[in-house]
A and B are shown apart, each in its own frame.
Chain A
Amino acid sequence: MKTLKMMAMAIAFMGLTAQAATNKEIINHISYKVILATYNDLATEAANLSTAVSALAANPTTETLTAAQNQWRVTRIPWESSEAFLFGPVDSLGIDPMLDTWPLNKLDLDAVLSGNRAISTDFVRNLPVTLQGFHTIEYLLFGEGKTSNNKPVSSLTAKQLEYAKATAALLAEYTANLANAWSKNHDPEDPTTPGYVKIISQPGVNNQIYSSERAVMEEFIQGMIGIADEVANGKMSDPMGGDIASANMALVESPFAWNSLNDFSFNVRSIYSIYTGNYRDAKGPGVKALVEKVDAELASRVEADILNCIQLIQAIRPAKGGDFGQAIFTHDGRARTQKAIDALNALRETLESEVLPTLDM
């Protein structure tokens, strides 16, 4: 309770400081202190994951497996925290599917693992996207995920370790490319192109991608809308299905590590970062500063709604253990899931019908 009160005070304080911010200041802050900072964190943590998985492969013990599992979870945080801004190089360099395609194709993975071929990063690079990225590593590190997310180290085969190591190295390479595209050179074929952070933070008539500050602000708001919709109506609704009989574990994201609810929470956290401008120890201004100029009540209501969504998502966690993938097979878990879905849809609706129009007020 005390924490909540302190958070509310902090929010109120930030609201005051953000109020006077111009669109230019908001854009500059979000571009550098939220988006670029998140991608830099992602590259750093993915490199750490590659190191941890290599250490596991070299010396498979319970300790090295736990360290790799923990680092997988840590690396998920900046990635899931980037989903409110899935635009720019993550699309144009085709990086998103390489990192985060799900569901995993276990059938094909088993076929590769049972073959005699040596596994290298270049070998994995040429395999389907459903055999690369976070969820392939997750499956290898955590196991099936249906009744447990605690794979014994003894069950890891040499081939699985080889594959996990190659895939983690590739993940680190892709995230480094992504951070580089945002910070230094957004088209790797053309060394004269600036980092995407410059493209988005310097809109104007001669900017081929964003002709105005309004366009960039719209991009930020559309990004928030997009991920609110995706979490509610894709990531949660699709696996939940119409009833318990049609619930589908195979459609759950991060089912092996039981990390789905954390994934969803950090997705909403990315909405919070764009909205407030707060990411780790960086403080606003964010989109809220724009809304405040028009409607202070709306500005704080949206912030409260975002935080409420995170709480409702975390509340889905089954009391007896497990994660989202287990909750959707129980009546009360489904009821809690529906509450979170409804809150996210309401947030999306508010962003669409009330926040977006403030751009033109």
Chain B
Amino acid sequence: MKACFFILAVNLVLSGAAHAAPVNMDYVHAVKTGGDTTVFFKGESAQAFRNPAANLTEEEIELHLKGDALFESNFSDDTSRSEYGLGPVYNNTNCAACHAKDGRGQLPVVPFGKEWVQLKQNESIFLRISIEDGLNHPKNAATNWGAPIPVPGFSDQLFHLGSMGARTDFPGAGQAQVWMKNEKSAFTYPDGEVVQLRKPVFKITGAYDEYFDSVTGQMRSRLYEKDVKTSPRMGTLMIGLGLLEAIKESDILALAARDLSDEGVYGKVNWVLDIKKLMSNDPYPVSMGRFGLKNNTPSVFHQSLGALRGDIGVTNYAFPQESIAGTPLFEQFKKNTNYPGKLETADEVGDGLVFYSQTLAIPSRRNVTEAEVIRGAGLFAQVNCTTCHQPSFVTGPHEIKAFSNQKIYPYTDMLLHDMGDGLADGRQDFDANGRQWKTRPLWGIGHTQTVNPRAGFLHDGRARTIEEAILWHGGEAEHSKGKFVNLPKADRTALIQFIRSL
């Protein structure tokens, strides 16, 4: 039987994917998606993403479990409590609110008969904000090493929630109110099949600095000016992050160096501020971006502690300043309350969250012996999905030994790609332009909606199914999408069944 699989795999390389980037076809039958970290039994349930990597030491599992409790615990703005530190403005009160059961988030429900809904508590989406002046800034300390430029009086993230003392005019609100509606459209395949698509659209009202401009007859705020760029971000999967960190930089650079111009593909690295380097006084604190939807953070450390300070407002040893420090809203808040002004969380809390985020296991692949799944795996290469959703790596050394030297199947090249107009946010993020996004790792994707039935795919959660997500692909993915949509229906189904097996 093994021999048959081998022949099939070779045939796929020779026939289907003849002009594609070279790819190791062993992914077709690979079950241990996360190498030795893979968990086998606890796969197919809402708990699929909640397990520690299988090869951690007992001591490491203890650390992981401590981090687990922190990930779910609610931070509070009550200074008398040990979980103090929430706010003064924030997007959620705990990590699990955006990453329910360590999985993906979902868009707010828009009830029948309503057009706009306000983002309230417990949403798994928020807006990044910045201003763009059209200049090409050098990467130096003055430009915060090329980081997006915060909106004056705000930050680089819009916090729609706030502590009681933050907005005395509207208890519970943060810097502004954020509203969302869905725009609907339809995609028609060449064979006539129609798929309904939706896209969330956002508007902002009630900014804290809002005033009525009698000249224009409109409400104004620095946030409403034309140079302000916004970009929605949905909570993503928490699994396998330590493994992604362990992929050798040289392997990612080699993928970026490929000449794939005949496919119209040009993968690119995002070079971003590295807070760990900055903390150790590195004269050039810039590293390869690996995390965030635009690869705008270099490590799980930076990503997790940045989110702890950003999304929840809890200052920590990596990010000791409140996100809104220096803004009029913060000055007012300090006047209204007894803000203690010291670091809000212990170093071990931050470290616990980082360790937990690094060590969640990838579930093993399912249904790998089903004929349709095997056929779909071949089609996945045939339509060149594998160019960007590069199946496998062998990891390099990592401070957590469990992640070193593992053959893994994340299905990403870790690079930025232009994804076309449909997905463009028009907002620069370090070297990522307004059309570029990181190739999402596909491992675990088949479990995503078992974990959260309304989980949405893509950066803003717009796609309700894997098929919708494929149909939103454009730009550098146009070539592959074109091949996909021209497949017979049965082949499209088989390809999606393969993706669901991951």
Contacts and interface: CB of A to CB of B under 8 A. Distances in A.
Nearest to B76: A105
B121 A98 contact: yes
A3 interface: no
Contacts of B41: 356-357
A326 to B, nearest CB: 20
B44 A212 contact: yes
A306 B312 CA distance: 38
A223 B453 CA distance: 16
Interface in A205-223: 205, 208-212, 214-215, 218-219, 222-223
A101 B171 contact: no
Interface in A89-104: 89, 91-94, 97-98, 101, 103
B454 A187 contact: yes
Contacts, number: 131
Interface in B102-136: 106, 109-112, 118, 120-123
Interface in B447-502: 449-455, 464-465, 497, 500
20 contacts: A87-B45, A92-B106, A92-B452, A92-B454, A93-B454, A98-B121, A101-B74, A101-B93, A103-B81, A108-B77, A108-B78, A126-B172, A130-B74, A205-B497, A208-B449, A211-B366, A211-B367, A218-B43, A223-B46, A238-B69
Given A107-B77, A107-B78, A189-B110, A215 B164 contact: no
Nearest to A196: B453
B97 interface: yes
A126 B465 CA distance: 30
Contacts of A190: 464
Contacts of A93: 109, 454
Which of B172, B367, B500 is packed against the most chain A CB atoms within 10 Å? B172
B167 to A, nearest CB: 11
Contact of A128 (B110, B121, B366, B454): B121
Contact of B164 (A108, A126, A188, A250): A108
B57 interface: no
A222 B69 contact: no
Interface string B37-59: 00001111111000000000000
A2 B427 CA distance: 72
B122 A94 contact: yes
B308 interface: no
Interface of B: 41-47, 65, 69, 74, 76-78, 80-82, 93, 97, 100-101, 106, 109-112, 118, 120-123, 161, 163-165, 171-173, 182, 366-367, 449-455, 464-465, 497, 500
Contacts of B451: 91
Given A91-B100, A101-B74, A222-B45, A126 B120 contact: yes
The 9 A-B residue pairs whose C-beta atoms are closest, nearest first, are: A87-B46, A92-B454, A215-B44, A107-B78, A219-B45, A222-B45, A111-B164, A92-B453, A222-B47
A167 to B, nearest CB: 13
A60 interface: no
Given A91-B100, A191-B112, A218 B454 contact: no
B76 A186 contact: no
Nearest to B44: A215
A8 interface: no
Nearest to B87: A128
Given A111-B165, A225-B47, 6 more contacts: A88-B453, A128-B93, A211-B366, A211-B500, A218-B45, A357-B41
A219 B43 CA distance: 9
Contact of B46 (A91, A125, A129, A130): A91
Interface string A220-248: 00110110000001100010000000001
A106 B452 CA distance: 31
A219 B454 CA distance: 17
B364 to A, nearest CB: 13
A205 to B, nearest CB: 8
B450 A127 contact: no
A117 interface: yes
Contact of A130 (B76, B123, B453): B76
Contacts of B77: 105, 107-108
